[in-house]
Structure 1
Amino acid sequence: MKVMLAIFKLDKLGGKERDCIAIARHLAARGHDVTVLTTSADVPGIDDLKLVTLRARGLANHALLRDFARGVIERKLRAEPDALLSFERIPDADFHYAADGAAILREWRLWSWPPRRRTRLALERAVFASPAATRLFFMTERQRDEYIIAYDFEPSRATVLPMILHDDRYAAARKLGAGDSRKDRGRKDLGVAADELLAVSVAVDPKLKGVDRSLAALTLYPKLHLVIAGSDAPWLHRRVVRLDLESRVHIVPYVAEVMDLIATADFMLHPARSEAAGQVIGEALLAGVPVLASAACGYADEIARSGAGMVLPDPFQQDALINGIAHMIDALPAMRKAAAVRARSLQQQRGAWLSVIAERIERGAAKPR
């Protein structure tokens, strides 16, 4: 079977891009001829993938996305693949992986540039609204329901995936059994004393993930440290200095051993403003680490169901975060036990999300056109 995957910038290497690479490899391992279409693929370690670079023209992001969609459609018409899986909003894709929330439900600012909004909504409608027949992959039930409310499409077009966690995270989680000595080494490297508490935030986009909210709350907890991985934004350093938190906030790059870093912490802080799913929540639970997250996160339901942490209600209030940290600290032993139970159950789901995607594509491609 010949399958095309289309993603705008593979080298952005966010969650969507990592998911695309994992899906491409999984489909190839099942014997399919897989090609990834993108505009930028300068990513180390993906020589095993067949990549085609398309040129997108435009002065603004929305124009580039529109031109990329046109290029993908033209390529599809020429190559005639058995299936096209898009990670961007591309009309006439056979399958679409919904990595974001619905643009139509976003609170657009009054001064948002009208062409940008029109283009994004037109592309979104072409994928989700009737008479489109694109089959849709969603990360959570909540995300699926939001799109159904927005576009009233036939629910049978939608598939909600099991929790998305990558194989390298599972492999790293199995090694975490080395225990307290490993955790102690990580804390020593950060300069965190044994009697001090450590929270972790993994955030490539720290503003979107609510790191500023966490920093403000941290000022009220003098024995709580916070390690922030994934961003070196100048405003982040300025905020830390302004709040006099230099001795308790540790800003580190996003590292391959991020599971080790997460496991070093007592709990994860993730009061995100917007998060379609939140793979870092799943990674924390897989590492046996409880999570304090906002209800805006798609995987917040996983925290509530497992009892491995706390979910802040919508709309977000800073006082709720402050009180939530106090509750997390008081209930840490019970929450860590709940997180350990969830970690064991997640180990049984390894690769499930990839199998679901592959099976749906194979079934869909087998149907007569």
Structure 2
Amino acid sequence: MPIGVFARRSGLTSSALRFYADSGLLRPAEVDPASGYRYYTADQVSRATALRRLREIAMPLTAVEAVLGAGIEEAARLIDEHVARVLEDAAAAQRTAVLLKSSLGDVPSLPVATLKGPVLADAVEQVLTATAREPDLPVLGGLRIEADQEAVTLTATDRYRLSTRTLVPSEPPTTTWAGTVSGDELRAAVAEVRRSALVRVEATAHGIWLRMADREDQYCRSLAEEFPDFRLMLAALPAVTTRVTLSKELLLRALEEHCGERIALRMTDHGRDILVAGDERPEMRLPATVTGPELEIWFELTTLYPAVSTAVGPDVMLDLRGPDQPVTIRSADRGDLTTVAMPVKPDASA
């Protein structure tokens, strides 16, 4: 087929095809010696399409040549490595851009609070388990920070879970401040934060500084989208009807052994145990303290497990309000980390 037809079939321009022919990546099947017209075969369309797509992800010509000449597994590895480099470069560029914006106008940062580094790092990791990556709702990947004269509160939600933890500052905050910052950038900063005895949080117009005396300061950009009104949701929760206290370790083990996607918790009427079910395996009976009426409630494993695993302390407390109402999960003896998890409809096959 002539070069114009092949260009339309492959999605490449005629000029691009001439360039790739000269570079040796995609030579024409035949060149008319008299006219110089270039002709291609249908068998070359797949290679041309792959070449176009590799260039669309900004892969250099040398790497493109390596991918096109490699076997399936090697080609996949090379593509993955290239994409990882692109994402790393993009993240670095984004961080640099944020730093540049933070320095525009030389506006001083606002001191928010001083926190113990290891405590802050643990809290960030715990709360960020309730985030989600959704391009249409980037705020669900962020962490809400609220500071007043008494405490600093961290909150995150993916719409199915809401986790919040309250920290007592090492020094009383001198101001009230609230903002939502990038969860990914906070995750990246956690390693440095954990190794610092004290971290001073300072707010700017575009993010927060995490100032550390013995390590490099970290900067996390703010998110412009409005954070969900979680306080309104919490205030609207019905009264607790059934309360369960049990070993965090035993509950996690039961969830790990039940491999189904959905898990049922069944509270018995004698107040000494609960049943964990959800697939064809036998029910597991766990010792527990149960107050209130019998209740069966279902969860997605991906919702319940992280809510339990991040709880502080050896025992967890579940505050239940009904089979279709959010459940509050927290430590049985420490209330500074709380997770609200949404149940799902019962499994019809159970």
Relative to its length, the structure with more strand (as a share) is 2
TM-score under structure 1 length normalisation: 0.23
TM-score under structure 2 length normalisation: 0.24
Relative to its length, the structure with more helix (as a share) is 1
